[in-house]
């Protein structure tokens, strides 16, 4: 859809760096007025960062933002709003105890002074709602609304402020299918009225359904910008995940031992009470690494939490070595020798203020030799610490150093040392190499492979597709809380994986 009116937004050579990573690496983006433009990519591709630059939440290190032909400085969200750019975030910015109209008006200075004319507000809200089919009761309290309705409030908030450009960040991740349809209808109405919409997503169906054009980002760079009508899902999938040659690590052929973990129709809710797991089923065998691929937020963390006792399953069964363990407490699962290498290393994996020595016994302190009766055996914990530090090459002034002073890699080494010290039968490893340097990453991978040799069953959750493909024996792809497919890693087609990650079920798994 070429138009001679010029672009609504042009981003030129945007660079945004964070410590250790270049989130946006010279990105060019042109968005036409009146189109729905999708930004497609995996997590870490840079889509959200880019939009935050556009919305004034971040300042770009290099590059220009040009609106309607004029270069502008986006110093803050207020500046963005002044330029008629609005953003609906993935996690809503609403105050639950306030009503819809109060939320819409929050932070606005309409020049009427401290007092509010609610009647006028209500009329304006109704007018906008009617025009775009966004019905919602202005006086309802937000906490009473369903998620889809809350999203409508967020949209109304931006429309109330008369935006021309609307950025939506993964809007459908919290919606039911019906609500998704309603959202798309709304978007089409908005566009008919002259709005421009940028839509961040990782779901191919949505791209094909609703966008005019799509820009694919990967690792901070633009891979391609295409007309939606001129492309298809397989192409997009390939562009999204890349076609690098994958280097395989030296790995002995898998000796499949007994079935260790059986997961059947697992359902669970996430922290916001929405379904996160919708009937996940799979088996895991000793001596294999099952990689869980998928864009973050599709239920992987909830899966790890259910398996380790940190979250309740609402339905379904989990058996470990033929023993039913569904909804066992965390402590029971720990005592069953399940190791958990958590994604949030610092927040839950260690106690930052305690020493390395103490962190190493964080799960084991209840058992001999670390404690007898009620008392901790300091000598044994010290011995354990020395051994762990040498086995896992933990670099620190002493074993009494507080864990918070360690580097990311060393923290992970402490966690590994602790989790693996009891010779677990099952390891749940979530994003184990995230944020680590090359050396630490390599070490972690070697450790996981060594455990595999010993017959341990490992569930490896990672956003790094390359890592999944090199380490796993089989790959399970999750999307929207469901298993899209399970395939052998050997000879896996990355395009097929990409398709599954973006919402297409594996052939033969069609419902």
Name the site residues for another protein (rule: CB under 8 A): 76-78, 93-98, 102, 105-108, 114-116, 118, 141, 143, 309-310, 329-331, 333-334, 340, 342, 347-354, 358, 362-363, 365-366, 371, 374-376, 378, 402, 404-405
Q: What is the 3-state secondary structure (H, E, C) of 411-424?
A: HHHHHHHHHHCCCC
Q: Minimum distance from CB of 26 to another protein (Å)? A: 27
Peptide bond into 270 cis (omega under 30): no
Pick between residue 362 and residue 449 the one whose CB is nearest to another protein.
362
Pick between residue 341 and residue 486 the one whose CB is nearest to another protein.
341
Task: Give the single-character DSSP code of 355.
Answer: B
Pick between residue 415 and residue 469 the one whose CB is nearest to another protein.
415
> Tokens representing 317?
């069964």
Closest CA to 386 of 367, 400, 403: 400
Asked if residues 468 and 246 have their Cβ atoms less than 8 Å apart, the reply is no
Q: Is 167 helix (H, G, I), strand (E, B) or coil?
A: strand
Question: Could you give the C-alpha distances from 385 to 75, 389, 500, in angstroms and in order?
Answer: 49, 6, 43
Asked if residues 296 and 43 have their Cβ atoms less than 8 Å apart, the reply is yes
Tokens 């930052």 found at:
352
Q: Minimum distance from CB of 328 to another protein (Å)? A: 10
Pick between residue 102 and residue 473 the one whose CB is nearest to another protein.
102
For residue 7, count other CB atoms closer than 10 A to its CB: 18
Q: How many residues comprise the chain?
A: 511
Q: Minimum distance from CB of 310 to another protein (Å)? A: 7
Pick between residue 110 and residue 509 the one whose CB is nearest to another protein.
110
Q: Minimum distance from CB of 382 to another protein (Å)? A: 13
What is the rounded CA–CA span in Å between residue 71 and residue 476?
A: 46
Q: Minimum distance from CB of 482 to another protein (Å)? A: 26
Number of Cα atoms under 13 Å in the Cβ half of residue 498: 22
Q: Minimum distance from CB of 115 to another protein (Å)? A: 5
Tokens 């260690």 found at:
350
Pick between residue 1 and residue 348 the one whose CB is nearest to another protein.
348
Task: Give the single-character DSSP code of 323.
Answer: E
Pick between residue 156 and residue 333 the one whose CB is nearest to another protein.
333
Pick between residue 144 and residue 256 the one whose CB is nearest to another protein.
144
Q: Minimum distance from CB of 10 to another protein (Å)? A: 26
Pick between residue 227 and residue 404 the one whose CB is nearest to another protein.
404
Strand 36-40 with 62-67, pairing: unpaired
DSSP 128-162: HHHHHT----TTSBGGGS-HHHHHHHHHHHHHHTT
């Amino acid at each position: 859809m070429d138009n001679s009116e010029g672009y609504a937004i042009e981003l030129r050579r945007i660079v945004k760096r964070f410590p250790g990573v270049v989130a946006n690496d010279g990105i060019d983006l042109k968005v036409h007025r009146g189109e729905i433009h999708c930004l497609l990519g995996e997590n870490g591709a840079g889509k959200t960062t880019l939009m935050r630059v556009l919305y004034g939440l971040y300042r770009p290190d290099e590059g220009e933002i040009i609106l309607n032909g004029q270069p502008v400085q986006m110093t803050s969200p207020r500046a963005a709003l002044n330029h008629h750019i609005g953003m609906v975030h993935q996690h809503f910015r609403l105050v639950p105890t306030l009503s819809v109209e109060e939320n819409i008006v929050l932070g606005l200075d309409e020049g009427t002074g401290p007092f509010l004319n609610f009647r006028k507000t209500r009329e304006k809200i109704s007018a906008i709602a009617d025009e775009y089919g966004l019905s919602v009761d202005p006086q309802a309290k937000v906490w009473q609304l369903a998620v889809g309705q809350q999203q409508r409030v967020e949209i109304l908030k931006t429309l109330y402020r008369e935006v021309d450009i609307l950025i939506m960040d993964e809007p459908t991740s919290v919606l039911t299918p019906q609500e998704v349809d309603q959202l798309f209808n709304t978007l089409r109405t908005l566009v008919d009225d002259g709005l421009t919409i940028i839509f961040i997503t990782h779901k191919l169906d949505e791209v094909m359904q609703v966008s005019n054009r799509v820009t694919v980002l990967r690792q901070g760079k633009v891979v391609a910008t295409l007309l939606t009508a001129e492309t298809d899902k397989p192409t997009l999938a390939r562009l999204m995940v890349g076609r690098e040659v994958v280097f395989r690590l030296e790995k002995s052929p898998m000796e499949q031992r007994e079935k260790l973990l059986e997961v059947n129709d697992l359902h669970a809710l996430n922290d916001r009470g929405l379904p996160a797991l919708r009937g996940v089923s799979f088996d895991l065998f000793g001596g294999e690494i099952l990689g869980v691929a998928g864009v973050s937020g599709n239920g992987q963390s909830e899966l790890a939490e259910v398996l380790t006792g940190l979250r309740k399953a609402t339905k379904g069964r989990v058996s470990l070595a033929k023993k039913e363990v569904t909804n066992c407490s965390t402590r029971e699962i720990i005592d069953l020798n399940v190791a958990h290498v958590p994604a949030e290393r610092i927040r839950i994996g260690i106690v930052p203020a305690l020493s390395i020595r103490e962190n190493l016994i964080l799960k084991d302190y209840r058992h001999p030799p670390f404690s007898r009766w009620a008392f901790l055996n300091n000598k044994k914990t010290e011995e354990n610490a020395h051994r762990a530090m040498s086995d896992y090459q933990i670099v620190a002034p002493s074993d009494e150093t507080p864990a918070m002073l360690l580097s990311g890699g060393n923290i992970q080494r402490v966690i590994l040392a602790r989790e693996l010290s009891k010779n677990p039968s099952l390891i749940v490893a979530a994003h184990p190499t995230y944020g680590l340097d090359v050396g630490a990453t390599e070490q972690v991978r070697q450790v996981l492979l060594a455990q595999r040799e010993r017959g341990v069953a490992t569930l490896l959750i990672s956003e790094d597709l390359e890592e999944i493909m090199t380490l796993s024996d089989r790959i399970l792809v999750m999307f929207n809380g469901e298993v899209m497919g399970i395939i052998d890693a050997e000879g896996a087609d990355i395009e097929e994986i990409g398709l599954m990650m973006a919402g297409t079920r594996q052939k033969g798994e069609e419902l």
